[in-house]
Amino acid sequence: MSALATPARDAPTSAPCAFAELVPANVLAKDAFDAVAEASLQQPQPYFAAFMRNGAFHFNLPTRDPQRFPIWIAGKGRDTEPDATQLRLTAGSGTAKHAIRGKHVRFSLSPKTGYLVIRAYPPAATSLAVNGVPLNMEPYTLHENTARVRIGELEYLFRYTTFAQSKQFLEARNLFVSLQHPDSSKGLALTPTPAPTTRSIGEWTLQKELGKGASGAVYSATSPRDEVVAIKLIVRNQRSAASVKNEVQTLTAITEAAKAAACSHIVALRGSIYPNGLEE
């Protein structure tokens, strides 16, 4: 049996240069993947077969032209003629099979973070969710190492691969993004690929340590809305509580003054996060 046709129930093995993968996670998704893999063996080198390997869909950059193919499209595709649907989620031409449309979702690399962003094709908004949250028509930045993705009735585990942590991939990613958005990739050094050990605080995922001092460490952090901020982690105890409170009040006052003066050159305080949501 070829690598392409390996049943989805086997443990997926990433393609050598794949930086992310979408692994079928429920029975419907696994059966659909197997059916697509089997159907592809009946066609002469189908385009979508290049994105399937050992029971998972794969994302890679080495042979991809950022000008011609800036996005990855997932859906049912068409059996009668070639199309641009690279991730064929179901086989057969049945209407609304597994509630999957021809072009259901799209993935693209964010010019701000370099992470994959998933968003629904209209009118498929109600049939796409990440980590149990329906996306409607809002994009969602996959800023953690893993995520649960539901497309129609099919469930998948999304995850970044070990290769995505490498210098080789990060250089390729930054080049890919800069060719599409020449002025938008300067901050990518702040957003390395999320690792399995990446720490999250609320909706924010810590990405890279930017500096460390006597009062704490500062990290770049990202959110599902493709935001990049700096988060300072401070050890707050009985001895330091007063100084922490004073620092927050000072930064709040500076932020309010900058807003009143319409000054955009001062870093604004977005908020403070306390253990259990309690300031005291």
- Structurally, at CATH architecture level, domain 18-164 sits in Sandwich (2.60)
- Residue 13's pLDDT is what? 54
- The Cα–Cα gap between 259 and 270 comes to 12
Residues making up the binding site for ATP: 232
Residue 6 above 50 pLDDT?
Answer: no
**Radius of gyration, CA atoms only, the chain:** 22
Which range scores top for mean pLDDT: 43-47, 163-167, 186-190, 198-202? 163-167
Nearest-5° Cα angle at 181, 175 to 182: 75
What are 86-138's pLDDT values in tens digits?
A: 899 998 655 457 889 888 999 999 999 999 999 998 766 668 999 999 998 88
Task: Give residue limits of the domains in the chain.
Answer: 18-164, 235-280
Q: What proportion of the chain, given as a percentage, has pLDDT over 70?
A: 86
Helix (H, G, I), strand (E, B) or coil at 144: coil
* 29-to-57, 161, 234, 258 alpha-carbon distances in Å: 11, 20, 44, 51
**Per-residue pLDDT reduced to its tens digit, 182-213:** 876 678 889 999 999 889 988 999 999 999 98
Both tokens assigned to 63: 């042979």
Residues making up the annotated binding site are 232
> What's the DSSP call for residue 182?
T
269 — alpha (psi -120 to 50), left (phi > 0) or beta?
Answer: beta
The mean pLDDT value for 211-221 works out to 88
Q: Distance (Å, rounded) from C-alpha 44 to C-alpha 42?
A: 7
Query: Could you check whether the bond before residue 224 is cis, i.e. omega within 30 degrees of 0?
Result: no
Name the more confident of 77 and 211. Answer: 211
